[in-house]
Amino acid sequence: GLTGRTAADGLAVSRPSGFVGETVKEMVGGGFTVSDEHLFTDLHALHETERLFVEPSACAGFASAVELSKMTDYLESSGLGAHWENAAHIVWATGGALVPEGEREKYLAN
Tens-digit pLDDT string for the chain (110 aa) = 567 788 888 787 777 789 998 999 998 877 788 899 999 999 999 999 999 999 999 999 898 888 888 989 989 998 888 998 898 888 888 888 888 999 999 999 98
Buried b (16+ CB within 10 A) or exposed e, 54-73: bbbbbbbbbbeeeebeebee
Alpha helices in 15-100 (DSSP H): 18-24, 36-50, 60-69, 72-77
Which residues have C-beta within 8 Å of that of residue 76, sequence separation ≥ 6? Answer: none
Q: Give residue limits of the domains in the chain.
A: 18-109
